[in-house]
């Protein structure tokens, strides 16, 4: 079946602009994660959604970052007033929920460049 | 919080040879999951292998196997008969099996593997 998809693949924006990044998880996966990967670094956890529960936002670096998940499926990560340090690859992953959520399956990521 | 350490930023291996990538982690939990993910230049993170902490037997997937030493909190990845397509960044990851704390995966900083023809 289809994997996790993300759009756009690449995004170039000017400092101060808002951007929206989209993630379509694998059908049937109730858990969804957003990560940030800066150049040459590991993955930094941003936010986690599980079903209709309140999201775990503990990884969001500032209040300029927000995310929502509509209908328990598609998720949008929004970065307001972008800064150059926001430049990174943003990865989305999904997994089954509950105790079965052993493995995350990743999308190809969105590479964000803030000029 | 759990931490995952990959002490080898870069590794290289001759094609058809064997290479071992190191990973250590720090946790006070007894039940958890460990993973190795591969990220080629395409950026797509691909699951290589998974190990449940309660299982004593080391996981194996074709040419990939792990050496899981629970007491030492070590989880190394062995790639046998290395192929050019194995060249990628490899990330070690930890996830708790506990309810609320199982939300996050903790990733190491990665090891860049080069395969020499």
Exposed e or buried b per residue across B37-76, where buried means at least 16 C-beta atoms within 10 angstroms of its C-beta: bbbeeebbbeebbbbebeeeeebeeeebbbebeeeebebb
The structural domain count of chain A equals 1
Mutate to test the interface with A, among B37, B40, B47, B105 (most CBs of A within 10 A): B105
Structure confidence at residue A71 (pLDDT): 80
The H or E element spanning position B80 is: none
In whole angstroms, give the CA distance from residue A101 to residue B25: 20
Residue A114 covered by a domain: no
Do residue B91 and residue A103 have CB atoms under 8 angstroms apart? no
- The A-side interface with B (CB below 8 A) comprises 33, 35, 41-43, 45, 48, 50, 56, 59, 89, 91, 93, 99, 101-109, 111
Residue B43, min C-alpha distance to chain A (Å):
6
Residue A115 covered by a domain: no
Q: State which residue of chain B sits closest to A3, comparing Cα positions.
A: B44
* A1 pLDDT more than 60: no
Query: How far is the CA of B51 from the CAs of A75, B32, B48, in angstroms?
Result: 29, 9, 11
CA-closest candidate to residue A95, choices A8, A24, A28: A28
pLDDT in tens, B32-79: 899 999 999 888 889 999 999 988 899 999 999 999 999 999 999 999
Q: Indicate which CATH number applies to the domain containing A79.
A: 2.60.40.10
pLDDT in tens, A73-92: 899 999 999 999 999 999 99
Which structural domains are found in chain B, ordered by start? 3-111 (2.60.40.10)
């Amino acid at each position: 079946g289809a994997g996790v998809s993300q759009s756009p693949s690449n995004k170039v924006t000017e400092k101060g602009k808002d951007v929206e990044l989209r993630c379509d998880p694998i059908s049937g996966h109730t858990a969804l994660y957003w990560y940030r990967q800066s150049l040459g670094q590991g993955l930094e956890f941003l936010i986690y959604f599980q079903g209709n529960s309140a999201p775990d936002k503990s990884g969001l670096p500032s209040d300029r970052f927000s995310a929502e998940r509509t209908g328990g499926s598609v998720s949008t990560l929004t970065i307001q007033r972008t800064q150059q340090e926001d430049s990174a690859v943003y990865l989305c992953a999904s997994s089954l929920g509950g105790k079965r959520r052993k493995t995350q399956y990743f999308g190809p990521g969105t590479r964000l460049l803030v000029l | 919080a759990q931490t995952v350490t990959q002490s080898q930023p870069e590794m290289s291996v001759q094609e058809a040879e064997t290479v071992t990538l190191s990973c250590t982690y720090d946790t006070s939990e007894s039940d958890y999951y460990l993973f190795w993910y591969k990220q080629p230049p395409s950026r797509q993170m691909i699951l290589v292998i998974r190990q449940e902490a309660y299982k004593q037997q080391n996981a194996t997937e074709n040419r990939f196997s792990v050496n899981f030493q629970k007491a030492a909190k070590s989880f190394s990845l062995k790639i046998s008969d290395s192929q050019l397509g194995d060249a990628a960044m490899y990330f070690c990851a930890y996830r708790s099996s506990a309810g609320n704390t199982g939300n996050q995966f903790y990733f190491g900083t990665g090891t860049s593997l080069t395969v020499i023809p």
